[in-house]
Every structure is written in structure tokens, then in C-alpha cells.
Amino acid sequence: MTTTVNTDMVIYNDLAQTAYLERIQDVIEIFNVSSSGAVILNNELIEGDLRKRAFYKIGGAVEHRDVNSDAKVTAKKIGPGEMVGVKVPFKYGPYQTTDEAFKRRARSPEEFSMLVGQDYADAVLEGYIEYAMASLKASIMSNADMVANASIAKDGKKTLTKGMRKFGDRSARIALWVMDSTTYFDLVDQAITDKIYNEADIVIYGGQPGTLGKPVLVTDKAPVDSIFGLQTGAITVTESQLPGFCSYSINDQENIAMGFRAEGTFNLDVLGYSWKETAGVNPNLAALGSSANWTKYATSNKSTAGVLIDLSTKP
């Protein structure tokens, strides 16, 4: 008697991995350039649950010196500081299919591995953005000095300048606006209504319509009624462990089948803000989105990720 065993089932684990890696590498390279380096996606093996880096807090300033005085001076201390990023685990699948499901469509089961590999890459990238947006909002909301309130309908283009004011003389550092599609189109609509220049039906908006010439990342993973004004290096998402892939045969069902699942881990580092150790490790999306779990480590607000423009208060 001949019995089908695992070795009789063709497993396309390499194909799934290849499809994943090809798509995610291409998209990451394009994304990092397009985001002006404000949202960085990269790869680096990182040990442990938290990434901790020590630094010195000085924040000094020049003071008047009396050339006619012999008074004693008081020494100032250099304080310690700590940047803490957090590791986030995730999973994908499992997805399963019978060989028959593909053979009946005159397709090879090989296609299953290609499909799930590519979809896994897309899901990972969407997850990166979703978790990054939640972390940005929570961390910036923990620092009231970097939250501006505005209304597009009432303030028009001043909506963005209200946010830029938070950076003062460093407002040029804002490299990227991030918002959801509804907010973006509201902003563009307002720019069309409030034309900068109109002569003989020629309208000049200058740079991006309504965005003061700065690029915009439009994603519906961004929180509703919020606009981020981010400086370079605002948030870094790092694939911090080797991704795990598992294609497997299923031989205990009526039809021969195969499955796929995957898991991975990434670290989140927000410029100017630390994850609180008291908030624990292995956080989910809700934990990352809680302002109580983040604290500012930067001395100056101008050295933090950016500003949050809150549009939730309607005129």
C-alpha cells in the first residue's frame, strides 16, 4: 500500500519568502525617500525587549559675565538621560488551501505561496504604518506643548502654520505632513477656495496645494482629525528579528492541503520620547496608542518628533 507522506507534498517555502522579500525591499526603499526621512523603515538585529541608549542632558546657555567681578561661580551638573524604544511582536495567518482548489482552476499550488508571500509583505508595511501612527500620536499627546488646535474650515492654511509655530525658529525642520485622506482633501479644497494668486484664470498654489510646499504622506492609517508635522528621523520602525516563515503540508484531511503562516518583530523609536518601562514589554496597538506609556526625554521640544495638529474641535 502506498501512503502519501509529508515528503510527497511540494512545499514552496522559498517562494513565499522570496515574494515577501522582493516586495518589501522595493517598497521600503521608495518609502524612505518619499517620506523625506521623517518615517524610517529599516532592518537591524536588536537584542532584548527594549532598546536603551544613554545620553547626556546639558541644555546650557550663554550668560552675562561681569568683567569687574571676582565672585565665585556655581558649577552646573550634566544630567543623565535615556532613550527607550520598544519591541513589538506580530503574527500573520495561518492561511490554508487544498491542492484541488488551485488544480481546478488549472493553476499550480506554487501560486499559493507567491500570493501569501506578497500579501504578507503588504500586511507588514500596513502594520508598520498603523503602529507608527498610534505611537506618534500617543507620544506627542503626552507633551501638551507640541499639540496645536485648529480647524480647516475656520483657519484655512493657518491650520498648518499653527502647528509650525510650535517649532518657532526651527519650523523649517518640519519635513513631512502626515494625515488621512479626508483631512488631505479638506485641506486641498480649502486651498482651491482661498487661491494664493488668480489672474486671467491662472491659479498659482505654490508647491503642494495647501501644504506650504512640504510633501504629504496620505494614509488612512493616520488618526482621524489629526495632522502630524514631522521632522527628519521622527520615528524609526526597525525589523529587529529575522522574520519567521512556515509553509506546511496538511495530510490528515479528506483532501491534501498546504498552509502558510509567519511571524515577526519590529522596534519602534520615537525621536525625543521614550517608552516607559512601567508600561511593560510586548505591547499591543492599544498600549502603544496610550499617552500614559510615553515620556519626553529631549530637553528641547524642537528636538522631538514633531507637532500634532488636533482638528477634533469643530467650529
Q: Where are the domains of the chain?
A: 15-54+80-310
Cell of 145: 506643548
- Give me the mean pLDDT over the 71-83 stretch: 71
Q: Give the containing element (helix H, strand E) for 261.
A: strand 257-270
pLDDT band, residue 57 (cuts 50/70/90): low
Q: Are 156 and 194 in contact (CB under 8 A)?
A: yes
pTM beyond cutoff 0.85: no
Is the per-residue pLDDT at 303 higher than 60? yes
Locus of grid cell 480649502:
190
Q: Are 237 and 268 in contact (CB under 8 A)?
A: yes
Please give the C-alpha separations between residue 68 and each of 61, 62, 71, 72, 90, in angstroms, as whole numbers. 21, 18, 9, 13, 66
3-state secondary structure of 202: strand
Per-residue pLDDT tens for 151-206?
988 887 789 999 999 998 888 899 999 988 898 888 877 766 655 444 444 443 33
- Give me the mean pLDDT over the 210-221 stretch: 82
Cell of 307: 507637532
- Rounded to whole angstroms, the Cα distance separating 52 from 49 reads 10
Instruction: Output the average pLDDT for the chain.
Output: 80
Cell of 125: 508595511
Per-residue pLDDT tens for 232-280?
999 999 998 888 878 788 888 888 888 888 899 999 999 999 999 999 9
**Residue 297 one-letter amino acid:** Y
- Rounded to whole angstroms, the Cα distance separating 30 from 178 reads 17
Asked which of 18-32, 126-140, 249-263 is least confident by mean pLDDT, the reply is 18-32
pLDDT band, residue 113 (cuts 50/70/90): confident
